[in-house]
Structure 1
């Protein structure tokens, strides 16, 4: 076939792994950049417009499995969580320098954690004794903050806080918000965009942005005529998100929270 596959990843290790698998295929181009550089990169390669774009969001399994990256609350490692190791902000800086109020807001907003204020309080108390250097230090503070009855039921008590800090370190929601309209501009007419999300905050952004492409008027109802000049630029092909099958979840438990939404440029 004559198609081309352009792959983006800001993690150099992911690019190296892809080179081992796909590197000899001349139809494949690997780009070691955040996909926020989608439009400019495709312009530089003279590949616009494209027929399809797929975003697979969130942290990858290799990043979770490599303890030294600091993404996992199940393994003790230095507090890092950077997808791009060359970026300046890391998890250690956030937990040791941000104010209690800022930490509480972060954990509530990005982790949707109802114990956010208490967790932030315990993190600040812990770092007064000594800086939190590892994921184990952070997990210990979180477990101390969450009541025992809550810890015994539901997911790991550190899950939501780790998610929140990881999102902040990598500006994941900001990047997603900035890239979706880029992707629509890059598509040829009839081209499709698919986005795989792994938590409700990502899915909400994707759902709302795709709905904005439907061209529905956003003017206040009291206005006699439309002023927003909304234009329909896409149709949504997934009325509800596509979820993994039972078989897929059994084979890959990490897929259980995945949701796929697809839109087509018109």
Structure 2
């Protein structure tokens, strides 16, 4: 007599339904809708299909090129700084130092503060005439620059504030990666007489590669999509010198060009995807080779 195989119960699959519904409603549908509305001239009450005219017009915008260059510079500068400073702070905060718990809290605290609040605070602190920073520099006879008003410094000043706010996340990820390394490796290195640099180069850095990849990807995506800190500090000024693609898109939206701003969002999505996919594959391939 043949034994009938028991069919697997569909019950475990039911738990995927809430997550799938949220994904479809809040990601899939808006994404496809954006691609459609980027080909239209639309308002809340009217939609007119115009093909690729929005994209053509968007590329004719004088600030688009500057915004694209600023987006790339801002993304890579903030990402690189977070990786380097985050690793340095993680090494410090995983070593046996006095007040380690307090210092960890200090480093992570800016992550918990609102980005808009930080932007407004630093806008006041770095005011070229009434800011505390330039006032302190003036006590030593140093003429403080216009941090957010000098076209050459505005974007880099915002990037520095971004790094200050976001380096806590990078530090936390690096700390988790370092703590997960078996202590036997470090003990063996000490027995062999390896110095701190040799231990970092041969043990800590290679075995922290997954954490490094995570920090690079997260910080680069965040940098390329950054908007709120830039808008709170300079609104893309002076002129268009600190404009990024997100702020250019928002300005088009403010002016009532909804189809044009939607096309800009699609372009931003494609730019971020085009940059992140090869970097992600490169980092993952190195992890496999390691």
Shared fold, TM over 0.5: no
Higher strand fraction (1 or 2): 1
- TM-score normalized with structure 1 length: 0.28
Higher helix fraction (1 or 2): 2
- TM-score normalized with structure 2 length: 0.26
* Larger RCO, structures 1/2 (Cα 8 Å, 6+ apart): 2
Larger radius of gyration: 2
